[in-house]
């Protein structure tokens, strides 16, 4: 990022390599501070004409002149007592104090990020974290000093607000990666080495659900990419056993930094290698599509998400990455599973690997939450291997599961009421005040995610039938038909409503490549049967009775299976 400061209606990105004030007066002298203050005057002009008129002395001053005068007064107030200050803005009212507080709140309403490429400490710890903390303290202390100067009383309550940045990234140049010249734009994009998240991080994207499908195109979007590399960053993600370069435009910085709670970051040494896949997020192609392409010459899968306000919803980035992952794994003979897999350890020493499969809203997460509560006195611990997408593969005649993500991106409504608060200090929330609000929480360490895990139970999360509990299916043709049909009663988490069908409950690769996926499904079910895996359905009732306790019956049946009853 070559700009010192990028500032829009709801986003602020500061280049700490070029802008890093260390004093309160120095902060207010920066062009960046003045730009924010001037933007605030434009906001007042639209939303608070009375305060705007006071600021411009009822039209006698331009906004720029007014802000110069306000800035000078504020810098003097950092040194002198109020009794020593003289200004037409000190007119016996609290308007100046209200202006300062309003400016601070205006700044806080923006998503705020820092970028740095050279702040490393001698101890090996990333000093960019300390830089963000110093910047946070500087802004908060500046406000506090001005408040104390212009209030008639001293502060008695001190709230340590997030005043500076919400998150920060430390970057490096990766111009030595092993891609051909056709992917030269990647050599010009800054790669992310480390991420600082000031949690709990609460974000407010303009979209709250995903629409449309991911479609295959005939032209490689990487070869027609026309974006300015200086405006993009790359999150080199380790997705399962794969490495996928997630290249995102700075307008989608919230999506990019949120990946840190969901995927393992590849090291700079690892990122020098050749990626298995590439995702371009915020592609200025004007097509309004989510697409993918297989570059067979270099055996790289490329995904693209067109720039659009609606793709601020994090699900677009997550699912595009997982679609690329699934397409690659199917090419390798592995079976993508849209579901949740947990290892359950009982206090009596029993361990079982449990997988629930189903599309969005089928009740996978809710059933697991119910199982946790129901078995609280019997369960020693739970390991989440994947919460949304994983894979099954076969080694020496045995089927194993692996995960893709180190975190979980889940609906707040799907969780036990207390669950979001248990990990609040590590979580990223998306529109927590709205329907279909989401949270990303860390779930499992990367080495655990990519281990081989035995599969003891594989059940389809059925949210539409009247049956209750858990049903084993002996006939594999019947079982395959249920899993492949991918039925669910939609809950409004996507654009679908009512009873719908999605091939193998997975619109992220298998649906687009049925001919590739089908023989893998056949082989997997044969192997699971030989391994003695329980294959069946878990009836969640979430689509027909979402307010009822029927999901507890399914959780109870799961617990009985785990206990061996």
Question: Tens of pLDDT along 89-106?
Answer: 998 889 999 999 999 999
Average pLDDT, the chain: 92
> Residue 241's closest CA among 269, 268, 214, 275?
275
Instruction: Report how far residue 134's alpha carbon sits from residue 24's, in angstroms, rounded to the nearest whole number.
Output: 12
Instruction: Report how far residue 485's alpha carbon sits from residue 502's, in angstroms, rounded to the nearest whole number.
Output: 6
SS3 string, 25-56, reads: HHHHHCHHHHHHHHHHHHHHHHHCHHHHHHHC
Question: Which tens digits make up the pLDDT trace of 533-564?
Answer: 999 999 998 887 777 778 899 999 999 999 99
Q: How far apart are the first and last CA of the chain?
A: 60
Residue 211, judged by CB atoms within 10 A of its CB (0-12, 13-18, 19+), counts as middle
Instruction: Report how far residue 229's alpha carbon sits from residue 225's, in angstroms, rounded to the nearest whole number.
Output: 10
Q: Is 85 helix (H, G, I), strand (E, B) or coil?
A: coil
Instruction: Report how far residue 534's alpha carbon sits from residue 484's, in angstroms, rounded to the nearest whole number.
Output: 17
The H or E element spanning position 162 is: none
DSSP letter (8 states) at residue 210 = B
> Residue 168's closest CA among 187, 193, 145, 143?
193
Domain 335-406+443-563 has CATH 3.90.228.20: yes
Instruction: Report how far residue 465's alpha carbon sits from residue 78's, in angstroms, rounded to the nearest whole number.
Output: 68
Could you tell me which residues are beta bridge partners of residue 403? 390
Q: Which two tokens stand for residue 225?
A: 């990419």
Q: What is the pLDDT of residue 121?
A: 45
Q: Beta strand pairing status for 389-395 and 398-403? A: antiparallel
Could you tell me which residues are beta bridge partners of residue 470? 538
Could you tell me which residues are beta bridge partners of residue 126? 120
Q: What is the pLDDT of residue 122?
A: 43
Q: Beta strand pairing status for 290-295 and 264-265? A: unpaired
Q: Is 459 helix (H, G, I), strand (E, B) or coil?
A: strand
Instruction: Report how far residue 316's alpha carbon sits from residue 294's, in angstroms, rounded to the nearest whole number.
Output: 19
Q: Which two tokens stand for residue 472?
A: 């084993």
Q: Are 278 and 183 in contact (CB under 8 A)?
A: yes
Q: What is the pLDDT of residue 417?
A: 65
Contacts of 439 (CB under 8 A, 6+ apart): 409, 410, 412, 415, 420, 427, 428, 429, 430, 432
Q: Are 207 and 310 in contact (CB under 8 A)?
A: yes
DSSP letter (8 states) at residue 284 = T
Give, in order, the Cα–Cα distances in Å from 328 to each of 105, 178, 241, 289: 46, 19, 11, 21
Q: Are 111 and 203 in contact (CB under 8 A)?
A: yes
Q: What is the pLDDT of residue 123?
A: 38
Residues of the chain with pLDDT under 50: 121-124
Q: Which two tokens stand for residue 336?
A: 């993508």
Q: Which two tokens stand for residue 23?
A: 């004093």
Number of H helices, E strands in the chain: 15, 27
The H or E element spanning position 550 is: helix 550-563
Q: What is the pLDDT of residue 18?
A: 94
- Range(s) for CATH 3.90.228.20 in the chain? 335-406+443-563
Q: Is 6 helix (H, G, I), strand (E, B) or coil?
A: strand
Quick one: residue 47, left, alpha or beta (phi over 0 = left, psi -120 to 50 = alpha)? alpha
Instruction: Report how far residue 520's alpha carbon sits from residue 525's, in angstroms, rounded to the nearest whole number.
Output: 9
């Amino acid at each position: 990022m070559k700009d010192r400061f990028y500032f829009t209606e709801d986003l602020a990105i500061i280049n700490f390599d070029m802008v890093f004030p260390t004093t309160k007066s120095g902060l207010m002298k920066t062009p960046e501070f003045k730009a924010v203050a001037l933007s605030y005057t434009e906001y007042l002009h639209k939303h608070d004409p009375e305060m705007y008129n006071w600021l411009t002395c009822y039209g006698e001053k331009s906004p720029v002149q007014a802000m110069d005068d306000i800035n000078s007064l504020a810098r003097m107030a950092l040194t002198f007592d109020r009794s020593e200050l003289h200004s037409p803005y000190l007119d016996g009212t609290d308007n100046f104090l209200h202006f300062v507080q309003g400016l601070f709140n205006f700044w806080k309403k923006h998503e705020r990020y820092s970028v740095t490429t050279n702040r490393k400490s001698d101890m090996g710890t990333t000093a960019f974290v300390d830089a963000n903390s110093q910047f946070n303290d500087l802004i908060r202390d500046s406000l506090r000093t001005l408040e104390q100067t212009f209030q008639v009383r001293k502060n008695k309550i001190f709230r340590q607000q997030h005043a500076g940045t919400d998150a920060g990234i430390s970057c490096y140049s990766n111009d030595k990666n092993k891609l051909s010249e056709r992917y030269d734009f990647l050599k010009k994009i800054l790669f992310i080495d480390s991420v600082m998240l000031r949690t709990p991080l609460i974000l407010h994207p303009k979209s709250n659900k995903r629409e449309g499908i991911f479609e295959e195109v005939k032209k490689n979007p990487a070869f027609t990419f026309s974006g300015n590399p200086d405006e993009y960053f790359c999150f080199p993600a380790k997705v399962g056993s794969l490495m996928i370069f997630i290249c995102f435009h700075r307008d989608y910085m919230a999506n990019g930094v949120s990946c840190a709670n969901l995927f393992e970051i590849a090291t700079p040494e690892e990122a020098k290698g050749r990626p298995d896949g590439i995702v371009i997020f915020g592609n200025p192609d004007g097509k309004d599509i989510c697409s993918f392409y297989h570059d067979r010459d270099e055996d790289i899968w490329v995904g693209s998400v067109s720039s659009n306000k609606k793709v601020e919803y994090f699900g677009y980035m997550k699912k595009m990455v997982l679609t690329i992952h699934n397409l690659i794994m199917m090419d390798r003979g592995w079976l993508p599973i849209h579901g949740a897999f947990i290892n359950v350890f009982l206090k009596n020493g029993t361990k079982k690997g449990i997988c629930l499969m189903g599309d969005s809203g089928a009740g996978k997460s809710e059933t697991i939450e119910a199982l946790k509560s129901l078995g609280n006195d019997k369960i020693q611990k739970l390991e989440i291997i994947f919460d949304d997408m994983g894979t099954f593969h076969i080694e020496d005649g045995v089927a194993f599961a692996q995960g893709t993500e180190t975190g979980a991106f889940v609906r707040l409504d799907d969780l036990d009421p207390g669950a979001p608060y248990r990990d609040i200090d590590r979580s990223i929330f998306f529109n927590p005040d709205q329907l279909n609000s989401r949270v990303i929480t860390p779930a499992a360490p990367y080495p655990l995610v990519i281990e081989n895990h035995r599969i003891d139970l594989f059940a389809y999360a059925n949210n539409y039938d009247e049956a209750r509990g858990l049903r084993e299916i002996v006939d594999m043709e019947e079982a395959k038909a249920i899993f492949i049909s991918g039925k669910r009663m939609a809950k409004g988490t996507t654009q679908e409503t009512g009873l719908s069908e999605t091939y193998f409950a997975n619109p992220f690769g298998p649906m687009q490549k049925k001919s590739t996926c089908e023989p893998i499904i056949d082989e997997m079910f044969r192997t699971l049967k030989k391994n003695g895996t329980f294959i069946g359905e878990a009836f969640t009732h979430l689509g027909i009775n979402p307010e009822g306790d029927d999901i507890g019956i399914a959780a109870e049946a799961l617990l009985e299976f785990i206990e061996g009853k």
